Structure 1
Amino acid sequence: MGNAPELIVMLTHNDLTVTDAYEIFDQCKTSKAKFWGFKEEPLPLEQMQKLFAYMKDCGKTTFLEVVSYSENECLEGARKAVACNCDFLMGTTFFDSVNDFCRVNHLNYLPFVGKITGRPSVLEGSLEEMINEANAYIAKGVYGIDLLGYRYTGDAALLNRNFVKNMKVPVCIAGSVNSYERLQEIKDVSPWAFTIGGAFFENKFDGTMKEQIDKVYNFMKE
């Protein structure tokens, strides 16, 4: 997409929102990251709305990533994103009903591609299948694609590189970005964005949460 990939800070660990997400955001709100989000589980909707409102008040762009696979669960996740006034809905297995709901509610939608199972999620499938799947969704008007690249059971670096190269819409590489080696691979591939959640909570980038966020942000902008 031409610019340095954007960091989306996810207040999540093992694909679940951490219970003290509000307090952690409050401590890190002055970090350099502009994009923030979390998952649809397990916080009550009222807490989700409060945190997303706070993020917006701080000038952040907001993301809800839904790790659900049935149509009803995915629709419920989309409803939560709208109820929280999110800017972006990431994840979900693609369903026309979810896409139509997002379009009606002016919610930017980036569905998963490939065969996704489990929580934390695992990605299977071939590059060709994922490209074809993505193109079908793009033809239906999605904003972009959520690629669980480093959750892939095959060669993740090869998948990320070739998938992004074949896309003309924003791609977010999500999940298990937990080293400078992977950050460099992402820089080289240059997707629109990438997420980091658990790696910050596991101190993979060495420092306080805010220090780690700024280290990653600066590394990607170098």
Structure 2
Amino acid sequence: MKNRPKLVVMLTYNDRTIPDAEKVFEECKNSKAEIFGFKEEGIPHDEVVRLFGRIKECGKQTALEVVAYDEEHCLEGARLAAECGVDHLMGTMYYDSVAEVCKRNGMEYLPYVGEITGRPSVLGGSADSMIAEARTLLEKGADGFDLLGYRYTGDAGELISRFVKETGAKTVIAGSVDSFEKLDAVKAVSAWAFTIGSAFVEERFGKGFAAQIDAVCDYMDK
């Protein structure tokens, strides 16, 4: 039986948390999505802590996606995630120090793979190298991966299909999932999950944040 990919709702736009994230979550707290998250940049620290607490209070799983590449900033994001008690730390390039923070605090670690630059992030590198990297990182302590499939400079469809199949790893397809055609592709490869943030802000799946969430969840259930 194929896995039904989970929607990770990101309260973000262009790789930063939206200023009214708390208000938007309150509008969406009764939607069908199981997992909510946002980025490490965009809102003040106390608001990050408060919002994650509220998401958990509403019975949802939590994810912090850290768009950072050097060890210092990746560790900073991991410590913020630990402080907030999030379920899934997504992003960061893999570092043993970050994996240790996750292990110590019971967080699932889903790092990036490939050659990533910029913000919004862009993914480079070959599919072969990313698959080989993933296999190594699974042995080192990664629980799965945050794959920026639709930010890839090469053939996104081929990368996503090969990566999910050949690594056998828990994979989140993150970034620029902004059409029903891309949802079809995510569904076809049975990825563990996928993120949508900016596309909801831009109303690519209908009108209103909460209505779009339910529309996407219903579509994935078909």
1:181 corresponds to: 181
- Listed as ranges, the matches of 1:91-110 within 5 Å are 91-110=91-110
Residue pairs, 1:1-222, within 5 angstroms? 2-222=2-222
Partner SS for 2:102: helix
The amino acid across from 1:208 in the alignment is: G
Structure 2 unmatched runs, 5+: none
Equivalent pairs, count = 222
- SS in structure 2 opposite 1:33? coil
Tell me the secondary structure at the aligned position of residue 116 of structure 2.
strand
In the alignment, the residues of structure 2 paired with residue 162 and residue 51 of structure 1 have an alpha-carbon distance, to the nearest angstrom, of: 36
In structure 2, how many angstroms separate the alpha carbons of the residues matched to 1:217 and 1:167? 26
> Partner letter of residue 100 of structure 2?
D
Query: Once the two structures are aligned, what percentage of the paired residues are identical?
Result: 54
Give 4+ residue runs of structure 1 displaced > 3 Å after superposition.
none
TM-score (ref. length: structure 2):
0.98
Distance in 1, matches of 2:81 and 2:45, equals 10
User: Distance in 2 between the 1:85 and 1:100 partners?
Assistant: 15
Instruction: Give the superposition deviation at 1:115.
Output: 0.2
| 8 Å Cα contact 2:85/2:105 also seen in 1 | no
Equivalent AA in structure 2 for residue 214 of structure 1: D
Secondary structure of 1:166's aligned partner? helix
Residues 115-159 of structure 1, C-alpha deviations (whole Å, 9 max, x = no match): 000000000000110011111110012111110000000010111
1:160 corresponds to which letter in structure 2? Answer: I
Give 1:169 shift. 2.3
Secondary structure of residue in 2 paired with 1:119: coil
Residues 82-118 of structure 1 show CA distances to partners (whole Å, capped at 9, x for unaligned) of 0111001000011111112211222110000000000
Rounded to whole Å, the distance in 1 between the matches of 2:194 and 2:11 is 14
8 Å contact from structure 2 (residues 9, 33) kept in 1: yes
Q: How many angstroms apart in 1 are the aligned matches of 2:104 and 2:209?
A: 37
Q: Deviations over 1:51-76 (max 9, x none)?
A: 01110011000000000111000000
Instruction: Give the Cα separation in 2 of the matches to 1:205 and 1:106.
Output: 34
Matched residues in 2 for 1:37 and 1:113: separation? Answer: 20
- What is the one-letter code of the residue matched to 2:148? L
| Structure 2 CA distance for aligned equivalents of residues 129 and 23 of structure 1 | 41
**Which letter maps to 1:207?**
K
Cα deviation, residue 2, structure 1 = 3.2
2:129 is paired with a residue of what secondary structure? helix
Q: What RMSD in Å do the two structures reach over aligned CA positions?
A: 0.9
CA contact (8 A) 2:7 2:196 kept: yes
What residue identity is the alignment partner of 1:147? L
8 Å contact kept, 2:12–2:18: yes
CA apart distance, 1:168: 2.3
